[in-house]
Structure 1
Amino acid sequence: MPSPEALIAFLRDNPEAAGTREIARAFGLGSGDRPALRTMLRNIGRSGELVRGGNRRFAAGEPLPEMMQVERAGSDADGFPLVRPVAWTGPGEAPLFRLAETAAGDELPEGGRALARLIRRETGETEAEPVRRLDTQEGRVVGVFRRGRDGGEVTPADRRDRNEYRVLGHDAAGIPDGEAVVAQALPSRRFGGKRVRIVERLGPSDAPDSISRLTIAAFEIPTEFPHEALAEAAGAKPVEVGDRADLRDLALVTIDGEDARDFDDA
């Protein structure tokens, strides 16, 4: 049997949708191998990397990144926890991945979010291995400050949060309209609305890097390397060229393909 990676590569290299028979012929599989091939194609299809048309033919779908933000979305029929992408741009509904085993008592709660590494098994199934929880602190709001007559309010960056958070005049002093901020909830009267105090300013919300700043603040993504990593990097020795050709003087330009989903400024 071909590997899941080989199957996906074949479909990407052959844009015309192929049926099970054509795929089996391309990999030299016999009729006895077709049930296992169908199972693998079905498993890959659940991840969104393979699309099946109404004519029972297959085509390559959206490529999956190595890392993805996911949120807990129930469990399957066997009781295994499931997660789905927080943001999905592929066709159809967002795929569901089984959550890889975690330490006892550390299971992601319903609706909880995590940064996960996607792992494709030999069966074609894709699992999500949590790398870090992305739960925000209680009472912490990341959003954009809008100035008003008596202070202003913070509009949350999380579109699921439809609350309005008031900022009193003395807490809003010196903060311009449209500033991206981090705010902390304050005690308020039962019918007086939610109040917050701005504890961190992130810069203008219309700046080119404002989305990155808001995302980093919302999910508390580290922006500095640990001391251990810096010490290890400082102690690293230059790599010996040896018998290899040294082409570091050549100027290179890299161009991502149309389906590229990473923005790493390669």
Structure 2
Amino acid sequence: MSKDCYYFPHDSNAKDDPKCVLLIEQLGMEGYGIYWMLVEVLRDQPDYTYPIALIPALARRYNTTCEKVKAVVVGYDLFTIKDDRIFFSDSLNRRMARLEETRVKRSNAGKIGNAARWGESQTDRIVIANGSHCDRNSSLTNKNRTNKNKEKKLSNESKESADKPRTVASKRPAFVAPSLETLQSYFPTIGGTTQDAEAFFDHFEANGWKVSGKTPMKNWQAAARNWVRRKSEFSNTTAKTTTHETTRKYNDL
């Protein structure tokens, strides 16, 4: 995991934005805290979007109410809702696009610098087959011409990359968690039961629909099939099994 994995830039005076002023006036600082919790959750997602169906799970995780979280999402024009399935922050997407653009520019600049250093270091090492040195002026001329062509090509690529619009939220379709009813209909078709469906739903709803402890789920049907295949491993789990132990046992699902 990179050092800046959870980093995102934001304004220090965000609280003075009229939308946030109204939010604080109506919901207090708790509402403002919910807003930044949602922004941080979005930053952690691969495509910077989050399913609306999981808002109740977020509310439980952060010890607030579903009604307050939904109010922040839909009531203050701070987030954009798409197809009544997912929501995202236009402001966060713009900031992350600029951050990615800066990274591309730095990467291309490093490539240009490496290309220039490589050409200079090789000039003094060119020899012909009989062991005598090539004409130094001719070697320098050829290498300098090659380096200039490389620099021009990389510079054009950097400019095209900087000018090309970036749509951060369109990396891939957002994962949408299934409802309990959907799971109860699906599990019997793969050899499971409705009780298996309820256990599957409760487990992944509680951990934010992540597998192996921290990786966002991409295909809930595959996860469900794996759950049914491996459920016999957990048949001896008693009512006294702790949440920590259960999570550890299901980490590989």
- TM-score of the alignment, normalized to the shorter chain, above 0.5: no
Which structure would you say has the larger Rg?
Answer: 2
Q: Determine which structure has greater relative contact order: mean sequence separation of CA pairs < 8 Å that are 6+ residues apart, divided by chain length.
A: 2
Bigger share in strand: 1
Task: Give TM-score, length-normalised by structure 1.
Answer: 0.27
Bigger share in helix: 2
Task: Give TM-score, length-normalised by structure 2.
Answer: 0.28
